[in-house]
Amino acid sequence: MCRWLAYTGSPVLIEEVLYKPEHSLIDQSLHSRLGAETTNGDGFGLGWYDPDAKTPAVFHSIEPAWNDRNLREVASHVESPLFLAHIRASSGTAVQQTNCHPFRYGKWLWVHNGLVRDFHLVKRDLALAVDESLYPYIEGSADSETLFYLALTFGLEDDPPAAVERMVGFVEEVGRRHGIEHPIQMTIGTTNGKTLWAFRYSSERDSRTLFYSTDMRTVREMYSDRPRLQEVSDETRIIVSEPLVDLPGAWNEVPESSYGVVQEGEDELHEFRPVYSRNGS
């Protein structure tokens, strides 16, 4: 229902990645090809890190991304080595800044594409499971934000894959208790400003698409007309809901039910297995 993008690597002007590619995220806000919805006009968000600040900056807007002038200004004047952008197609909850991704807690950012099915049925049970100390930080009404605070409750800051696996297991248990066949559908991107984790999973094992750039030689080719991108390091990576350009070999699909870790040193790709409570389903 949404589209997102994560960039990590050599610092670049955000617009180089967000606006310049042929089928950029901004273009996808009007004309998504692979999404459940073709239009993603229910607000957007951008979160970026810079070396000095303790917490990332977030910029949220309820205007469609394609005509937001402030986004264009920020993107064309801010350089960053790590940023997440998200365009929203609401699955029902209000269009307001507090429902825009990325969600932020301390130095963490979180974006989500997908939905918690029949969220109104399970919202209360999920909210009650959020740690008491975290509960007051929930500002909006989006399912995606509740997933973030559940993951934080389950230890996101210590072991992200384990926390997300427990979070998903919990959501599935609660959903099934309410008679929901396929409780969750998701791709998720999250980062602490150093490492980036990207998850692809759905209860029905038919998850929203997710791609990662193969390696930077390919990215350099993709942007052959952008001199500044020719200088980015080999470790630079882009993860996207759908490819930014049509270029054979440039993108790998994140496999069904798996997650990737983009970090200093070797990147990793693992199977994703929801963890259920002992007395769970």
Contacts to a copy of itself by CB under 8 A = 30-31, 38-39, 41-42, 48, 50, 52-53, 57-64, 66-67, 69-70, 73-74, 76-79, 90, 93-98, 119-121, 123-124, 127-128, 132, 135-136, 138-141
Residue with smaller CB distance to a copy of itself, 132 or 158: 132
For residue 272, the cross-strand partners are none
Nearest distance in Å: CB 175, a copy of itself: 14
For residue 223, the cross-strand partners are none
Nearest distance in Å: CB 192, a copy of itself: 17
Residue with smaller CB distance to a copy of itself, 69 or 205: 69
Nearest distance in Å: CB 45, a copy of itself: 10
Residue with smaller CB distance to a copy of itself, 65 or 250: 65
Nearest distance in Å: CB 111, a copy of itself: 17
Residue with smaller CB distance to a copy of itself, 41 or 81: 41
Q: Percentages helix, strand, coil for the chain, rounded to the nearest 5?
A: 30, 25, 45
User: Strand order in 184-191's β-sheet?
Assistant: 103-105, 108-116, 184-191, 196-202, 258-262, 268-271
Nearest distance in Å: CB 70, a copy of itself: 5
Buried b (16+ CB within 10 A) or exposed e, 230-250: eebeebbbbbbbbbbeebeeb
Using alpha carbons, select from 173, 164, 184, 183 the residue that is nearest to residue 270: 164
Nearest distance in Å: CB 55, a copy of itself: 9
Query: What residues have CB less than 8 Å from 218, skipping those under 6 apart?
Result: 247, 249, 250
Residue with smaller CB distance to a copy of itself, 9 or 41: 41
How many residues make up the chain in this entry? 281
Give φ, ψ of 162 to 5 degrees.
-65, -40
Nearest distance in Å: CB 36, a copy of itself: 13
Using alpha carbons, select from 129, 144, 122 the residue that is nearest to residue 208: 144
Q: Is 112 exposed, middle or buried (0-12, 13-18, 19+ CB in 10 A)?
A: buried
Residue with smaller CB distance to a copy of itself, 45 or 274: 45
**Dihedral sign from CA coordinates of 152, 260, 226, 20:** negative
Residue with smaller CB distance to a copy of itself, 69 or 278: 69
Residue with smaller CB distance to a copy of itself, 55 or 218: 55
Nearest distance in Å: CB 154, a copy of itself: 18
Buried b (16+ CB within 10 A) or exposed e, 262-276: beeeeeeeeebebee
d(CA 104, CA 58): 8
